[in-house]
Amino acid sequence: MNTAQPSVNRDGIRQAVEQAGLALRGALRLEPEEQTGLLAGMHQIVLVGLIGRTGWDSFARSPEAGDGRPDPLDRWSERCLGELARHLGAQALYPFGGPPYWPFQRWAQRAEPLAPSPLGLLIHPDYGLWHSYRGALAFAEPIDWPPAAQAPSPCASCADQPCLTACPVSAFGQAGYDVAACAGWLRSPAGQTCMDQGCQARLACPVGRPFAHRPDQARFGMRAFLAARD
């Protein structure tokens, strides 16, 4: 088991995460009943990820992004989070590599003012739907961290909910996200708009537009989504 070094504090963690070119996404204290398995003896989870271009640009410049091998974003994340964990005396955990999966969305809602959107993605009052996770750092020692800010979900005051009507195959409905309908559309010639610009449902959301993915980031995400379903 790793032990947090005495010098590790919130500012030190923020500095290390930002130096690695990633975004610090808040922290949460694990309840005693959550401290089992790989998390036995762990008290604090610090989340690390992407917000708009923050994190993405570092990945885009990385050797993994250009080496032509599979899963470049996940391999980059393992290298960066692995180095951060060694430096800070933490254990690195990843959102990929399952099932089973670590409950990143449940953790995220305890670390930042996030709420589920009708698309299933978590929405942030400032970044909208344009944020995600590349890993978590689990610390054995509790770290002094202010409680997550509180804010109402932007969806609560979104009368028109344009995200629910923008998908050309109505992939979002009462039954949740119809992954097969989405993937089928993306593989068809008509699906090239989504492939090139990104998910039209996500793009229809008015919140956090400055953080929206530009075409390079959108295309990468869509190709990775389809590749995982081949």
Residues that bind ligand SF4 (CB under 6 A): 117-119, 123, 154-155, 158, 161-163, 167-169, 171, 182, 185, 194, 199-201, 204-205, 207
In angstroms, the CA 148 to CA 151 distance is: 10
Residue 82 binds which entry of ligand B12, ligand SF4, none, CB below 5-8 Å type-dependent: none
Total site size for ligand B12, rule CB under 6 A = 23
Out of 17, 42, 122, 138, which residue is the one contacting ligand B12 (CB under 6 A)? 122
- 206 is an interface residue for ligand B12 by CB under 6 A: no
Q: Which of 102, 107, 49, 71 is nearest to 225 (CA)?
A: 71
Q: Which of 78, 70, 22, 95 is nearest to 224 (CA)?
A: 70
222 token code pair:
């869509």
In angstroms, the CA 52 to CA 10 distance is: 23
Radius of gyration for the alpha carbons in the chain, expressed in angstroms and rounded: 18
Residue 155 binds which entry of ligand SF4, ligand B12, none, CB below 5-8 Å type-dependent: ligand SF4
- 177 is an interface residue for ligand B12 by CB under 6 A: yes
The contact pattern for ligand B12, residues 92-121, with x = CB under 6 A and - = no contact, is ---xx----xxxxxx---------x--xxx
In angstroms, the CA 225 to CA 223 distance is: 5
Neighbours of 189 (CB within 10 A): 5
Q: Rounded to an integer, what is the distance from CA 82 to the centroid of its chain?
A: 17
Least distance from ligand B12 to the Cβ atom of residue 9, Å = 26
- 217 is an interface residue for ligand B12 by CB under 6 A: no
Residues 203 and 119 sit within 8 Å (Cβ to Cβ): no
Q: Among residues 66 and 152, whose Cβ is nearest to ligand SF4?
A: 152
Maximal CA-CA distance, the chain: 57
- 214 is an interface residue for ligand B12 by CB under 6 A: no
- 133 is an interface residue for ligand B12 by CB under 6 A: yes
**Which residues in this chain contact ligand B12 in the complex, by CB under 6 A?**
95-96, 101-106, 116, 119-122, 129, 131-133, 176-177, 179, 221, 224-225
